[in-house]
Structure 1
Amino acid sequence: MTRDSRRCAPAAGLALVLLMSALVPVQAGGDDPAHILAPTGKLRAALYPGTPTSILPDPGGQPRGVGYEIGKALADKLHVPYEPVVYAKNAEVLEAVKTGAADVAFTNASPARAKLMDFAPVYLRIELGYLVPDGSGLKDVGEIDAADRKVGVTSGSSSDAELSRDLKNATVVRIPTIKDAIEQLSTHQIDAFATNKATLFEMAEKLPGSRVLDGRWGEERHAIAIPKGRDAGLDFLRDFTADITSSGLVDAAAARAGLKGIIASEK
């Protein structure tokens, strides 16, 4: 080996090391919860309008809603910017979490949804019921399942899945949005609309003469949902959920949103 070739060897070796390091993917963030749960550097929270469990517009310019406030608290805890994304339909919220277009959603943790996304522990339980329009003779949930009844549900919702299975006589009518459901109730295209009572009481305020029927046909168990493949962040979310329930954040957000139909936690 000549003197010149010996002089070039260290430089060539360094170049090879730099080339190889460029080909090896960098594992940025490691086990950092922010990297796992908000990989784009901001927390994209999927929300659905018209329900106090998610987000409601506020005349003063500050949105209300349990999901909206939990998302903001989670972004603060992760030390990342908060980016609420409001979808027109609940089905779009679920799709966004399923595909990873959103980082979190705040929704009913049903067994069917658990196959498509991962859930933290439940932070809120709400009664499921029916809203009937002005002039309806129906008095309680036990009168719903009759052959001449048309019961509206939000397309792709957990109410859709459950009532399509459980109602043996009534006809289930799938409706895209809460706004559409209010329209169909007001024109008596449907006899009742089914979802959680938090949403039903909110709808009733926009539909004079309507009533939420006595009784309940089930309950929703709301929890933070994340895309599959990010389960390394679930321990963080378990601790976060315990914090927001014990600190009163969930109760305070529910009160600000005027949320009704809550099932009290067992002590």
Structure 2
Amino acid sequence: MKKTALILVVLLAAHWAWAQSGPQYRRYNIMNKNLVSTVFTNGGVIGHPVGKGPRGAWLNDNDGYLGDVSPFVGCEIPYRVSADSIFYFHSVTYCLADHRPNRQDGIDYGVFWGFEPKAGYFNESKEGPAVALYTDPTTWPQQWPDRLNDVNDPGWKGQWNGYFGKGLSNATEETYFAMDDNEDKEFNEPEYNIWNVAFHPDSTNEARNGMGLEMKVRGLQWKQFLAQDCIFWLYEITNEGTTNYEKAIFGMLVGTYVGVTGANDSPQE
């Protein structure tokens, strides 16, 4: 059953297939169109990667206030053991930050078990900062995967995929990207977890991993006086699988710094 939740987070300073996601699509960019500037990744982390730009800075790029900020989602998962028995367990999927290279239980398998970027939401041929930004058309994809079903203009080629509509952005700056949890295989293979469960979130696609979650993210900045000290982040979470989760949570991991620079992550800061 597909369900979507939309979450708005305010940061204050003072149809592509599930398989089209993974670490090969990791990119970063910088939002800096008002008094706040920060580097961020399309893997969901604000303030990273270290050394690629200001980190939640206000007024001065060298006066950052973020270690890292990123979302996580947790669900209680019903796993049918037999025709008349259901076992419930909990799973939490989060994002990759520079200093969280792997979950301890994923290191042996050489992958990060968590949210990874989806292809198709940025210009994959662009070098350097490449997460899609409204003010930089060179970062846009040729077409947008979530607009391919528009019968009048499939894919919105050459148009911004804006929160306010096709080709529109009421904001001074806007970013848009998508990620999913297909790489989070902890409970999809019995050898990866202590309960030996082989959970599959989508009964129509046994190859779908994780909890079957997709997360679309937007960041918006305005220069107007009342919003010039903020970046607004919106998170749209969709259950793409067939499993119904009766209990779910959304949260933010927040690591703060005072005066952190864009190039240094040392504890002395």
Q: TM-score, normalised by structure 2?
A: 0.26
Q: Bigger radius of gyration, 1 or 2? A: 1
Q: TM-score, normalised by structure 1?
A: 0.26
